[in-house]
Chains A and B, each alone.
Chain A
Amino acid sequence: MSQDEFAPRATGSTVLTHEGGFHARPSIMFTQLAKRFSAKVWIGLSDQGPWTDAKSIVRVMALKASRQTTVFFAAEGTDAADAVSALVRLVQSDFTNSRDQ
Chain B
Amino acid sequence: MSSAKATVYLRGICASPGLARGVLVRLQERVRTGIRAPSSGPSDSASLRQAIDSACAELTALKQRARDSDAEAMLAFQIAMLQDPVLSEPAFTAIAAQVPPEQAWQDAMESQIRQYDSADDAYFRARASDLCDMRDRVSGILSGAAIIPVPPGSIVIATDLPPSRFLEMSWDGGGIALTEGSANSHVAMLARARGVPMLIGLDHGLLQAHGEALLDADNGVLITSPDAKTLTDFAARQQALRIGRGGTEGHLALPAVTAGGEHVQVMINVADGAELGSLNPAWCDGIGLVRTELLLRSKHYLMDEAKQYDEYCRIVRWAEGRPVTVRLLDAGADKPIAGYTVDVESNPFLGLRGVRLSLLHRQVLSTQLRALARAAAVRPLQIMVPMVTWPDELDQVRQMLDDAVESLTKEGLDCVRPALGMMVEVPAAALTCDLFRADFFSIGSNDLIQYVTACSRDSRALAALQDPLQPAMLRIMREVVKHANTRGIPVSLCGDMAGDPRCVPALLAIGLRCLSVAPAALASVKAAIARYRSEASAQEHSA
* Pairwise interchain contact A20-B299, C-beta atoms closer than 8 A: yes
Chain A interface size, under 10 / 10 to 19 / 20 to 34 / 35 or more: 20 to 34
Closest-by-CB residue of B relative to A28 is B80
Known: A23-B124, A67-B339. 19 other contacts (CB 8 A): A18-B300, A19-B299, A19-B337, A19-B338, A19-B340, A20-B123, A21-B338, A24-B73, A25-B73, A27-B80, A31-B80, A32-B80, A56-B84, A57-B81, A57-B84, A58-B84, A58-B87, A61-B124, A94-B300
A15 in the interface, Cβ–Cβ < 8 Å?
A: no
**With A19-B299, A20-B299, A20-B338 given, is the CB distance from A64 to B84 under 8 Å?**
no
Inter-subunit contact B112/A58 (CB<8 Å):
yes
Judge whether B121 and A59 touch: CB under 8 Å: no
The chain B residues found within 8 Å of chain A, CB to CB, are 72-73, 76-77, 80-81, 84-87, 112, 115, 119, 121, 123-124, 127, 130, 298-300, 337-340
Is A53 part of the binding interface, using a Cβ–Cβ cutoff of 8 Å? yes
Give the complex CA separation of A39 and B107 in angstroms. Answer: 32
Q: Is the CB of A61 within 8 A of B127?
A: yes
Which residue in chain B gives the minimum CB-CB distance to A52? B86
Docked CA distance A53–B81 (Å) = 14
With A and B bound together, what is the CA distance between A24 and B76 in angstroms? 9
Residue numbers in B under 8 Å from A101 (CB-CB) = 72
Quote the shortest CB–CB distance from A64 to chain B (angstroms): 6
Contacts of A67 in B (CB 8 A): 339
CA of A59 to CA of B86 in the docked complex: distance in angstroms? Answer: 8
Task: Report whether over half of chain B's contact residues are helix, strand or loop; otherwise say mixed.
Answer: helix
Instruction: Please determine whether B339 and A96 come into contact, CB atoms closer than 8 angstroms.
Output: no
* B76–A100 touching, CB < 8 Å: yes
Is A19 touching B300 in the complex (CB atoms < 8 A)?
yes
A96 touches B73 (CB 8 A): no
Expressed in whole angstroms, the Cα–Cα distance for A62 and B80 within the complex equals 14
Which residues of A in the span 27-71 have a Cβ within 8 Å of any Cβ on B? 27-28, 31-32, 53, 56-59, 61-62, 64, 66-67
Contact between chains at B339 and A28 (CB < 8 Å): no
Q: A23-B123, A67-B339 are in contact. Are A62 and B73 (CB under 8 A)?
A: no
Distance between Cα atoms of A30 and B292 in the complex (Å): 27
Cβ–Cβ contact B300 & A96, under 8 A: yes
Known contacts A53-B86, A57-B81, A100-B76; decide if A19 and B339 are in contact (CB<8 Å): yes
**Chain B residues, CB < 8 A from A18:** 299-300
A23, A28, A58, A59: the one within 8 Å of B76 (CB): A28
